[in-house]
Amino acid sequence: MESVEKMAKPAVVVIVPAYDEEETIASVVEVLVSHPLIDDVLVVSDGSQDGTAERARQAGARVVELPENMGKGAAMQTGLSVTAADVVLFLDADLIGLRAEHVENMLRPVLDGEAQMTVGVFGGGRGPTDFAQQIAPFLSGQRALRRTVIDDLEDMGESGYGVEVALTRYMRRHHASVSEVVLVELTHRMKEEKRGLVKGFAARMKMYWDIVKLLPKDLPREGREQKDKVRQGDSGR
């Protein structure tokens, strides 16, 4: 019975887009390569100028190196183009505190058919990162999904830092089931910590601009509608 279940399990790939993340990439990869649910760990080094690619290889990942920085969306699209896995887990390369249970909790709903996509939201980690994701979970870079759900997503490669918004908008338009997963005690390095105050702030402004260009106007409204539904459901009990 166990061998039949293993044969039936969809192939799972983790795609980690990375730009100059030599400080954290190895610790992220080490958790992933030893996880029983994962078949392939793919790091896409997006024009990194530091030791990101080498450290990822040393930790056990398969690495694709882009010759120049093309943006997060293009790196994720590149990863998709070199894998045929059925289930994809996207993770950021700057995560701090990643554990096997985080991976399990994100993949299980997708593997078990309970959701077509899960979105990981930080909780119980650091205040600034927790707060940012609690007020805007659709911006989280931690996502697991069925490959077939996004096979015809056209603008991922051009979305830059706005790729999470593009994914959220696409899933909503296709009425796909999405579940949020709280990733307890997981956080990440902020841009100002990685690049210094000035360069980090500039990178943050570029990220916000990419997001604004793709941000659907109906996201806040739909968030309020969802909260209203929850409140109505509670009042009826």
> What one-character DSSP code corresponds to residue 42?
E
Alpha-carbon dihedral of residues 61, 106, 124, 19, nearest 10 degrees?
Answer: 30
Rounded-to-integer distance, Cα 136 and Cα 236, Å? 28
pLDDT tens digit sequence for 44-100: 999 999 999 999 999 999 999 999 999 888 999 999 999 999 999 999 999 999 999
pLDDT of 154 higher than 70: no
Considering only CA atoms, which of 161, 174, 178 is closest in space to residue 214?
Answer: 161
pLDDT tens digit sequence for 5-52: 445 789 999 999 999 999 999 999 999 999 999 999 999 999 999 999
**Topology annotation, domain 2-189:** Spore Coat Polysaccharide Biosynthesis Protein SpsA; Chain A (3.90.550)
| pLDDT above 90 as % of the chain | 51
pLDDT of 125 higher than 50: yes
How does residue 152 score in pLDDT terms, banded at 50, 70 and 90?
confident
Considering only CA atoms, which of 65, 20, 11, 56 is closest in space to residue 38?
Answer: 11
Phi first, then psi: what are they for 74, rounded to 5°?
A: -65, -40
> What string of DSSP letters covers 212-236?
HHH--TTHHHHHHHHHHHHHHHHHT
Answering whether pTM is above 0.85, one says no
What is the token pair recorded at 80? 């998709």
